[in-house]
């Protein structure tokens, strides 16, 4: 199931600084999801959004350099 792929992706971003930095810079969301799938995580934008909604997180970025508050630890 793709839910587990989204969870693995969010955990990896919480644990791996370089991975997180790469994704924090990606826009638009379609490019973000496409890159995640290239990196071996198999999920759709809808599945990603569902997981963020369920966890109370937002894809929006903030700060300089850009950051996202989506990553799990």
In tens digits, the chain (73 residues) has pLDDT values of 589 999 999 999 999 999 999 999 999 999 999 999 999 999 999 999 999 999 999 999 999 999 999 999 8
Answer yes or no: are the C-beta atoms of 13 and 71 closer than 8 Å. Answer: yes
- Beta strand extents in 1-73 (DSSP E only): 61-62, 67-68
At residue 10's C-alpha, the angle toward residues 33 and 39, to 5°, is 45
Say what the pLDDT of residue 2 is. 87
Domain ranges of the chain: 2-68
pLDDT of residue 73: 85
Provide the 10 A C-beta neighbour count for residue 1. Answer: 9
């Amino acid at each position: 199931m793709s839910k587990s792929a989204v969870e693995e992706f969010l955990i990896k971003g919480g644990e791996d600084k370089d991975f997180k930095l790469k994704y924090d810079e990606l826009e638009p969301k379609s490019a973000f999801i496409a890159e995640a799938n290239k990196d071996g995580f198999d999920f759709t934008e809808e599945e990603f959004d569902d997981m963020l909604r369920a966890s109370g997180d937002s894809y929006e970025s903030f700060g300089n350099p850009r950051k996202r508050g989506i990553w799990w630890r």
